[in-house]
Structures are given as structure tokens and as C-alpha cells.
Structure 1
Amino acid sequence: MGTDTERPNLLYIHSDQHNPAVIGCYGDPLVQTPNLDSLAAKGVLFTNVYCPSPVCVPSRMSMLAGRYPSEIEVWTNNHILDSGVPTFAHAMGAADYHPVLIGRMHGLGPDQLHGYAERLVGDHGGNYPGSGEAPKNMRASLQQSGSGQSSYQVHDEDVTASTVNYLDRLGVQKRAGLSAEPFCLSVGFMLPHSPYVARREDYELYRDVMTLPKHHEPYSDALHPYFKWWREWGNLIDVPEAEILSARTAYWALVTRMDIMIGEILKALRKNDLAENTLIIYSSDHGDQMGEHGLWMKRTFYEGSVKVPAILSWPRALPEGVQCDRVLSSLDLNATMLEALGAPPLPNARGRNVLDLVRQPDTEWEDLAFSEYCTYEDCLHRMIRRDEWKLNYYHGQEPQLFNLAEDPDELSDRAQDASCREIREQLTAEVLEGWDPEAVADKMEQKRADLEIIRAWAEHTKPKDQFRWERRPEMDYLD
């Protein structure tokens, strides 16, 4: 790894529910994201990165551990990652870094560090299982969208201020010649996660120019059974244009506000002369469907939900202004950070280091990613993306099959196409290899009984939350 002065710094910025389609450098002509665009211009932009699960806790815990949800038994927003599972923060600490987390992690249970040596701002929610499942009325987020303030933005403003302060203190130490130790910093944002409420100055940027979804899919009996049920469950059968436009306007505004906060962090990095040997990674836990296919938020394998942005910038160590279209998993970012910092790889992890791929595009690479979504409502779903094909497996129902090279908007389901029988059979065999939906269902039922005891214990004993960010009712309002 060389001397301490040669060891790189890490700045890992992880947002919540950011669809990569709503970033300027990914092709959105409307959104204002100059800081992410600049970061991409100075680094590598990945266009086909898939999250391990299109829902918060499973995706984040998988990203920490470098393993898929079934391998760590974290399938829902109520599941707890075993503290005995090593994370990339543990590996960075093993490499003699001091891993620091500022902001969101969204892990449940008494372990609110999972390998981080220090945490400066916590999550807005409690440490123990509560109401972590999908809301039955997602429509409320659309009906209550608009101009105002979300406490999630207030949280992120605290995260930004704490991060800038942390970098300023490092700068003071550096200028005083007191420390040459590299830093290892993770920053967790909640934006642009719903509620779809943004401050007026940001909301007004898009109020008169916002567009409707490209492909609104009317509710009908022709829908795949899962999506027919999902839209009934979430009260998304018939959403008026006014609600759609209001929610989308706020979402674009929240992305812009998050970009501004990222800009403040990057400015502090440069101001304190810390950018020169720093690997910067920006990504998210999953996307948001923003009304496409008549759907909102996440919890599906459509591209808007399961795909995440990924931008890497590292002066002189990575090329600049490069776009990589190979298929990746978010777990590959885990492995890449460890390789870059000279940290030991995580045992049993699934991630692959992408550094050689971006430095030498002809490097051998398998275009492959998986994602899982499992709930107590008999949703046992798994996705495989291989090359240009994506198969979405729904246990007990017909799959979906898309050729994303020919059909990037996923409008033509080829699962019943006789000419696609061979690829359907091949991908079905692959998606089920080592993944038994019946075994998953049995294990989830066991965990449900266990979690009920923990939930009731927490309700009655009221244990103190660790690293809790105080969310107050007055932080949330509509103008």
C-alpha cells in the first residue's frame, strides 16, 4: 500500500431513491445537476448498475456486506443485519483506515456502526423494527406533494454541514502539519426520497416546465398480475395529471437541492486541498419510478426502480470523461472501494473490482447482475440482467422478459414469445440457481416470529436509540 501519504482518501456519497435518469450527465435535459455533471466529466459514469434489492434496508445492508439479500437474510425494511457479518467498513478498518459515517445508513438493531469507527449524524427513525413495510396508500405521497419542506431535506442539510465541518477540520490539521493520515468518509443522504415536497425556490425551477411520464400505463386486466395487485394495494389505479406533475416537479427539485449540497461538500474538499488523491464515488440505494408504467417509488424490477447512478472520480488514477455501459451490480462498488484503498476483500462477497475495467475497456467482464424483492405478501421475486436481456421471476406467476437493447423502456414483454423460449429457459435456470423461493418464504416466516418479539420488547422497554437524528413534526409542511 505504500506510505501513508500515498494511500488514497475515500469520499463515498450515497443517496436514497435516486433514479439515474434524473441527472444531467445521464441525459436529462431538464434537471439542474451541475455538481454531479462535473464529477462525471472528471471521472467515469456507469450506465447499467443494478441495486441488490429495490428497497432501502435490503439494498443498503447488501451494499455494506457485499452479498445479496438471501445471503445475509435481510429481505425487508424490518430485517436486521447480523453484526457478525463483516462490511466494507470493517475491511477498511482492517486496512488501518478510520472509517467515518455521516448521515443515513438505515440499519436496524443495536449495531448502528457495522464497522464504522465513528458516526456523526444518525438516521431519522428508530433502531428497532416497526412499520418498515410498504405503505398501503402510496397515493398519499402524490396527493400531499408540492412546495413546502420535508424533514428529510433538513436532515441532509445537517449531514452536509457536518461533512463540511469534518473536511474543514482535516484541512486545519493538514495545514498545521499535524496529520498525514488518509480519511475514509461515507456520507448518507435521504434525498431525493419521497415525500415529494421541496422548498419553494427549488420547486419553482420546474413548476411550469415539468413533463408527464413518457409511458403511463393505464390500469387494466391486461397488466401483469403483480402490477395489477400492486397498483390496487397502493391506490395507484387512476392518478390525475395534476398529482403526477406536482410529485414529479418536487422530485426534480429535490434532486437539484441534493446536487447543491453535494457541491458544498466537493467545494470543501477542494478548499482544504484534499481532492488530489481522493476516490469519490456517488451512488444510490435504488431508484424511483416517477409515474412510469403508472408506478411510483420503488419495489419493482423496472429500470427506474432497480437501476442506480454510479459515478467514480479519482484524479490521475482513473480516466476522465469516460462512460462505461457494461452491466454491474452495486456490490461491485463495494469491492472496488476495498481494492482502491488496499483493504482486504470481504470473504464470501459477490462484488467485482471495476478499476481494471475502466482503465482498460477490453478487460474481460461478465455483464451480469441480480436483484431480489421478497415480502410477507407472497412476493418472492428475483431479477437477472445478463447482457441485453432481463428476466423478472415472480414465484407462482409468469415471468417478464425484456430485451433492453431493443426495448429500453420495457414496453414489450417477450416472456410468451416462442422465439425467446431458449433465453427464457436459460435465464430462469440461472435466476433460480442457488436461490430457492420456498426456502426463502420459510425463513422469512421464522424471522417474522423473531422480529415480533423484538418489536414488542422495544415498544415496552423503550431502549435508547443510538445516533438518532431528531425529527420534529414542524419540519414537515406544505406551503
Structure 2
Amino acid sequence: MALTRKQFLASPSLAAAQPRKTSRPRNVLFLLSDQHRPSSVGCLGDPVAQTPNIDSLANTGTRFSQAYCSNPVCTPSRASILTGLYTHHHRTWSNATPWPFEIRTMAHHFSRSGYISGLIGKMHFVDAQTHGFDYRLDFNDWFQYLGPKTQLYADELGRRNSGSGLPIVDDLWSDFGDPWIGHRRVDNRQGLVHVGRASLIAERDHFESFVSRESIRFMKRFAGKHPFFLIASYLKPHDPFMPPETWARRFQADDMKLPATYGKVDLAKVPAEIRQRIENHGPSPELKDQAAARQRIAMYYANLAHLDECIGRVLTALRELGLEDDTIVVYSSDHGEMLGEHGLWQKFVFYEPSAGVPLIFRVPGLTHAGAVCSQPVSQVSLMATFLDLCGIPIPAGLDGPPLTPLLRDPRHVRPAAVYAQFALRTRNARAMIRDGDWKYCHYAGDTPELYNLRSDPQEMTNLAGDPAHRGRMDELRARLLAWHDPGRTTA
């Protein structure tokens, strides 16, 4: 018997073949970099940054202009991202601290909800645990891929470091020491961050190329079979500042300018440790030479440009696989980079270039193209946000609320302070509170800092000693210490 068109369209066989329409995207692609300062993005007007793919993501999604990491150093920050907890709750105190096994990460929750969870690249676990991920490739897999060419990376790194080094599990060397000592042939400067130069490693063999290639392989393998939660986690623009030669040639030291705040800090009004870092150019004394400093800046931007190219490859594959309309895409970094601001390098401080991070969401059907949310937010909210967007129950006890209301309406006002911590359980312990236009930084036994970011966005005028702002400082200090006192020896 012939079917009418209406009966044909309603038939079960055809219904099964129709494209699935859901109110929530199924997949999550989290693109995570290392040490990307929040202002070094082309679409924000940085004249040096070449980031067309990150720019495109920002132009098609929602960008948070005042996002912060929870701790301006790799391992504690990444632990907060994956657990939704601040440092004193997840207890991953430093880059040398293994993550507590019993604390559940967002990967556990995605896997239990039917997702295939993947981590490709750096996460700085400092141990061999999987922390809930079903599929994991890291530095050690890259070394297997490189084979004898690992020697080139050992030469460029010039130091033992579990975050960007050889290998990712420090314990492998605990008995007999670093096996590369005496075998590094180029930069044998143990413990120093390099000024930078063109890499001897072919572009296809760089860690970023490996991460993108394997992330694309992951998406091809599981697309249409399982909803996936994938973190593609890159090392760049973090050191070693040795980009592929093609990218290194784009950025010349003579074209770089030192930041406007370089050499302008009133050293009498900053904490002693920061003063010592500025005076000694720590932890990179070679950057005392301004020519070397400009070379470092050039190679940072070259690293960033190569990172952007590799991110673009993943985004292109996502589109070609037909997954773009069914995938939440997020870009962020674990912390920033001072890059000479205030005369400082790397991270470790609460100034905006270090504690601030880029944060971009593209959520099909929810975010608005080119939208900007100026509400201060913390990456400690990422776990709750990812789970909420995918309809997965948010566990009790998380420190960060979901950002979903801000994604729906970037003008939404959420009166909540943002916090950050560093070096807990050491004599240099410190913490920060950001509330509205004000930032207060508390140091155990050292000079505090108070800045009005509206009138002083470069944080050059410490108002902590100004009697006119004593009330504001006392209020913020009381709130911060009530939340958590960084001088406490126990969590």
C-alpha cells in the first residue's frame, strides 16, 4: 500500500535517520594553553599578537574580559579548573604536589554520564593517575612519538621540569637523578628560563602539533558514536621560547618594545619578594639585558602564533566533521605571563597580566556572537559551568558557581568576589580578593597591596598605605581572611 507523504515522513525508519535536534550540545571541546596573558590577543588590539583563530572564536562567542585563575602557577591552577575547588580545598599546593586521588574531577562526572572523556596534552598531574579520564595522551606519549628526536627537546629545555619537561612523572628520576645531565648539547643552563631562539625541531614534531593531530584523531574516532568531553591542552606560549623557525622569523627582537611599566615601579611600595624579583630579574637574570628581554618578548609572541595555528587546525576539523553546531568550545589558559610588565617575568604574582586569563565560550544556541562579559569571574567556576551546560548534576561543595547566567546574558550582575592564592603552606603565602573595581593582595608578613583597577588599570599606585583608603583595605582584608588566611599552616 502506498504511503501518503505525511505517513512517510512520520515513519519510524525515517525518523531514526533525521538529524538529532537537542536543546543542549552533546560535546565539549576545551582548548587550554599555558601562560597566555589575557591582553595578548589580536582582537583586543595587541599590535604584535597574531591570533586569528582565537580572535574568530571570540567573535563568534562570549568573551570574559575579567577572568582570573585561582593560583598563578600551573599545577594548583589546573587542579582548580578540573575540580571546581580553590587551592586550600583541593590541596594541590605547588607544581611538585600530586593531586589527591580522592577528589573527583569533571572527567569523572562526564564519564559517569555517558561521555567519553579525553585529555590530550599537558595537565601537570605530577603522578601517574588518570584522574577520571578515559583516554589520555601526555608528554610521555609525545616522547614515544619523537623517539631519538627527544634529544632535540632535551637540548631546548635545558632543565628538569615536570610541567614542560622530561618526564611528566618526577618520581621516575627520584632514585638516580636527571639522566639528561651531561647530555644536553645546546642550552645547558640548569633552572633558567631561556631568552629564546628558533627551534631545531620540525614544526610537525612540536608538542602543539602533536596535541592538535591527536585531538583531531580523537574527534574522528568518537564523533557520532559517543558524546565526548575533550581537553586539548597545549604547552605554548610557555617556555621553552623556541618556536618553529617559520614562526620565529615573523617576530624580530628589534621590533619589540618593552612595556610602559618596565622600570617604573616604586620599589618602596611593593612587597619585599616582588621588589627582589624586579631587582634581580628573577627567575631569569639573563633578561637584565634589554636586548635579551626584547628577544624573549619576540619569541613569546612567536610561540603564541604557533599555538593559534594549531588551535585553528582543531577548529577546522571540528567544522569539517559536522560537529560545530553540536559542540561547546571553550578557550582559556592556566595563568598569564608578566612579559616584562613591572619589570617582572613569568607568573607567580597577582597583577593582571599574571593572574588574569583569556576565557572564551562558544555555546551553540546560547552565547551571543562577539559578546563581552565584564563581570569578574574565576576559573574555579569552569567545572560547574561545563556540567550545567551539559545537563549533568553539579555536585555539592564546589567553590565556583556556574557561569551559565552570564553566558545567557553577559550584562547579568552577580555580586560575588573572586579570589586567588599562591605559595600556601610556605613563608611566602599570599592571597588576593577582587571585588568590583578593587583588588587587595595580602602577604603573610609583608607589605599588602591595594589597587583601584578602574583608575589604575596598570596597578602602579599601591593605595595600601593611603589613609584615605584605609577603610576599604580593612574591609577587603577582613573578608579575605574570613574566607581563608594564607598565613595558616593547615588547610
TM-score of Structure 1 vs Structure 2, range by shorter chain = 0.7 to 0.9
Match of 1:202 among 234, 247, 250: 247
TM alignment of 1:159-238, pairs within 5 A: 159-170=211-222, 174=224, 179=225, 181-207=226-252, 208-217=254-263, 222=268, 223-231=270-278, 232=280, 234=283, 236=285
Q: CA deviation at 1:23?
A: 0.8
AA aligned to 1:146 is R
Q: CA RMSD in A?
A: 2.5
- Is the contact between residue 289 and residue 298 of structure 1 (CA under 8 Å) also seen in structure 2? yes
Instruction: Describe the SS at the equivalent of 1:52.
Output: coil
For residues 36-91 of structure 1, the C-alpha deviation after alignment (integer angstroms, 9 at most, x for no partner) is 10011100011101101000000001111110111111121111111110111111
Match of 2:480 among 418, 431, 441: 431
Larger Rg: 2
For residues 251-290 of structure 1, the C-alpha deviation after alignment (integer angstroms, 9 at most, x for no partner) is 0011110000000000100111111111000001001100
Match of 1:126 among 162, 168, 176: 168
Q: Identify the residue that residue 33 of structure 1 maps to in structure 2.
A: 51
> What runs of 5+ residues in structure 2 fail to find an aligned partner?
1-18, 141-164, 175-188
Instruction: Describe the SS at the equivalent of 2:420.
Output: strand
Alpha-carbon distance in structure 1 between the residues aligned to 2:266 and 2:358: 32
- Is the contact between residue 86 and residue 346 of structure 1 (CA under 8 Å) also seen in structure 2? no
Check if 1:145 corresponds to 2:162.
no
Check if 1:114 corresponds to 2:131.
yes
AA aligned to 1:326 is Q
TM alignment of 1:458-469, pairs within 5 A: none
Instruction: Describe the SS at the equivalent of 1:191.
Output: strand
- Is the contact between residue 139 and residue 235 of structure 1 (CA under 8 Å) also seen in structure 2? no
Q: Identify the residue that residue 298 of structure 1 maps to in structure 2.
A: 347
Which moved further from structure 2: 35-44 or 315-324? 315-324
Alpha-carbon distance in structure 2 between the residues aligned to 1:329 and 1:273: 32
- Is the contact between residue 213 and residue 292 of structure 1 (CA under 8 Å) also seen in structure 2? yes
Q: 1:149 to 1:15 in 2, by over 3 A?
A: farther
Q: 1:140 to 1:219 in 2, by over 3 A?
A: farther
- Is the contact between residue 139 and residue 236 of structure 1 (CA under 8 Å) also seen in structure 2? no
Q: CA deviation at 1:383?
A: 0.6
- Is the contact between residue 100 and residue 184 of structure 1 (CA under 8 Å) also seen in structure 2? yes
Q: CA deviation at 1:4?
A: 8.0
Q: 1:424 to 1:253 in 2, by over 3 A?
A: same
TM-score (norm 1): 0.83
Which moved further from structure 2: 392-401 or 145-154? 145-154
- Is the contact between residue 116 and residue 228 of structure 2 (CA under 8 Å) also seen in structure 1? yes
Q: CA deviation at 1:235?
A: 5.4
Which moved further from structure 2: 352-361 or 221-230? 221-230
Q: Identify the residue that residue 451 of structure 1 maps to in structure 2.
A: none
Match of 2:40 among 9, 22, 35: 22
For residues 420-466 of structure 1, the C-alpha deviation after alignment (integer angstroms, 9 at most, x for no partner) is 111100110111114233433x57xxxxxxxxxxxxxxxxxxxxxxx
Which moved further from structure 2: 279-288 or 353-362? 353-362
Check if 1:158 corresponds to 2:210.
yes
Q: 1:202 to 1:13 in 2, by over 3 A?
A: same
Q: 1:240 to 1:84 in 2, by over 3 A?
A: same
- Is the contact between residue 26 and residue 227 of structure 2 (CA under 8 Å) also seen in structure 1? yes
Alpha-carbon distance in structure 2 between the residues aligned to 1:364 and 1:215: 32
For residues 286-319 of structure 1, the C-alpha deviation after alignment (integer angstroms, 9 at most, x for no partner) is 0110011111001011111100100111222211
AA aligned to 2:117 is P
Which moved further from structure 2: 147-156 or 222-231? 147-156
Alpha-carbon distance in structure 2 between the residues aligned to 1:362 and 1:60: 28
Q: 1:221 to 1:328 in 2, by over 3 A?
A: closer
Q: 1:238 to 1:167 in 2, by over 3 A?
A: closer
Alpha-carbon distance in structure 2 between the residues aligned to 1:439 and 1:35: 43
- Is the contact between residue 193 and residue 284 of structure 2 (CA under 8 Å) also seen in structure 1? no
- Is the contact between residue 4 and residue 182 of structure 1 (CA under 8 Å) also seen in structure 2? no
Q: CA deviation at 1:195?
A: 1.9
TM-score (norm 2): 0.81
Q: Identify the residue that residue 102 of structure 1 maps to in structure 2.
A: 120
AA aligned to 1:305 is S
Q: CA deviation at 1:109?
A: 2.4
Match of 2:290 among 241, 259, 280: 241
Alpha-carbon distance in structure 2 between the residues aligned to 1:406 and 1:32: 29
TM alignment of 1:228-377, pairs within 5 A: 228-231=275-278, 232=280, 234=283, 236=285, 239-374=288-423
The aligned length equals 426
AA aligned to 1:198 is P
Instruction: Describe the SS at the equivalent of 2:297.
Output: helix
AA aligned to 2:364 is P
Alpha-carbon distance in structure 1 between the residues aligned to 2:463 and 2:190: 29
Q: Identify the residue that residue 7 of structure 2 maps to in structure 1.
A: none
Q: 1:286 to 1:362 in 2, by over 3 A?
A: closer
Q: Identify the residue that residue 96 of structure 2 maps to in structure 1.
A: 78
- Is the contact between residue 258 and residue 294 of structure 2 (CA under 8 Å) also seen in structure 1? yes
Check if 1:414 corresponds to 2:463.
yes
AA aligned to 1:230 is R
For residues 108-164 of structure 1, the C-alpha deviation after alignment (integer angstroms, 9 at most, x for no partner) is 2231x2111111334653324689xxxxx999425x422224799822211111112
Alpha-carbon distance in structure 2 between the residues aligned to 1:288 and 1:228: 17
Alpha-carbon distance in structure 2 between the residues aligned to 1:353 and 1:279: 15
AA aligned to 2:312 is G
AA aligned to 2:98 is I
Alpha-carbon distance in structure 2 between the residues aligned to 1:138 and 1:245: 22
Instruction: Describe the SS at the equivalent of 2:47.
Output: coil
Q: 1:340 to 1:65 in 2, by over 3 A?
A: same
Instruction: Describe the SS at the equivalent of 2:387.
Output: helix
AA aligned to 2:262 is H
Q: 1:103 to 1:307 in 2, by over 3 A?
A: same
AA aligned to 1:234 is P
The alignment-based identity, stated in percent, is 31
- Is the contact between residue 433 and residue 439 of structure 2 (CA under 8 Å) also seen in structure 1? yes
Alpha-carbon distance in structure 2 between the residues aligned to 1:332 and 1:45: 15
Which moved further from structure 2: 93-102 or 422-431? 93-102
Instruction: Describe the SS at the equivalent of 1:281.
Output: strand
